[in-house]
Amino acid sequence: MHVMKLKKVHIAMLLVIIPVILVLVIKNYTAYGPLLATPTARQEGDSHAKVTIVEYSDFQCPMCARIQPFTKELLRTYQGKVRLYFKYYPLTMIHKNAMTAAHAAECAARQNKFWPYGEKLFERQKEWSPLLDATTHYMAIAKDVQLNESSFQACMADASVDLLIQSDSQEAQARGVNATPTLFVNDERLVGGVFESEGARTIERELRR
C-alpha cells in the first residue's frame, strides 16, 4: 500500500516536471519574426538612438489611447536615446472602425502628419469608435491638422493603403503579437499596461547594456 502511494507521488512529480521542461525548451527555441522597415513618417526620436521602441497599436483600443501620453513622456525624458516606430495592428474582429482609422492615419503619414493625426485619433477615440461610419470624423481631424483635404480624400479611397496596414499586422503576428498595445523595447516585449509600469525600467536596462 505504501509502495503504491509512493508510486502515485512519483507519477504526480513527473506530471509537474515534464510540462515545465517542455515549456522551457519551446521558449528557448522560439524566435520572434523579422522586423520590417517602418516609413520615416511613423518614426519619432533620434535615428541613432541606442534603444528602439516598436509599438503595435490599434487606434480603437482604449489601452492604446491610454498609454499615448506616457509614451510621449518617455520620448521627452530619454531624448536622443530612444526612437519610436509605430506599426498598425487593427483588431478588426472586435473593433469595427480600427481598419478605417489606421487607413486614415496612414493617409496622414503620406502627408508627413502621422503623429499629430494619430494623437487626435486617440484623443477623440470615444467619439468615433461607436459610429457605423467615422469618415466625417477622419475628415474633421484631417482639417484640424491641416492636411491637404483632396489628397487625403483620394488616399482614403485607395485600397492599396490597406495592404500596407495588413503587412504591419502580418509582421506583428509573425512576432507573436496577439494583443494591443504591444511594444518591443529592443527585444523586450511589453504588453498593455505593463508598458506603463515597466517601460522606463526596461529602457534604463537597455541603456546600461
Partner 1 sequence: MSTSVKGGGKRVEGNANLPSTLHASPSAYALLLVRLLIGGVLLYAGFAKALAPAAEFAAAMANYHLFPSSGLLPMAWIIPWIEIWTGLFLIAGLYTQAAAAVASGLFVSFLAVMASALWRHIDLASCGCFGAETFSPHTTFKIDIGLLLLSLLLTYCYRRTWPFTVDHKVD
Question: Does residue 190 touch partner 1 according to CB under 8 A?
Answer: yes
Report if residue 16 touches partner 1, rule: CB under 8 A: yes
Q: Which of 125, 103, 123, 124 is nearest to 114 (CA)?
A: 103
| Closer of 101 and 190 to partner 1 (Cβ) | 190
Distance CA 135, CA 110 (A): 18
Residue 119: what residue type? E
Q: Which is closer to partner 1, CB of 98 or CB of 109? A: 98
- Binding of partner 1 at residue 131 (CB under 8 A)? no
DSSP labels, 133-176: --HHHHHHHHHHTT--HHHHHHHHT-THHHHHHHHHHHHHHHTT
Q: Are 67 and 83 in contact (CB under 8 A)?
A: no
How many chain residues bind partner 1 (CB under 8 A)?
A: 35
| 8 A C-beta contact, residue 59 and residue 109 | no
Asked whether 199 and 185 are in contact (CB, 8 A), the reply is yes
The window from 40-48, 87-95, 112-120, 146-154 that contacts partner 1 (CB under 8 A) reads: 87-95
189 is a site residue for partner 1 (CB under 8 A): yes
Q: How far is the CB of 164 from partner 1 (least distance, A)?
A: 22
Q: Which stretch binds partner 1 (CB under 8 A): 19-27, 113-121, 144-152, 158-166?
A: 19-27
Q: Which residues bind partner 1 (CB under 8 A)?
A: 4-5, 7-8, 11-12, 15-16, 19-20, 23, 26-27, 30, 58, 61-63, 91, 93-95, 176, 178-180, 182, 189-194, 197-198
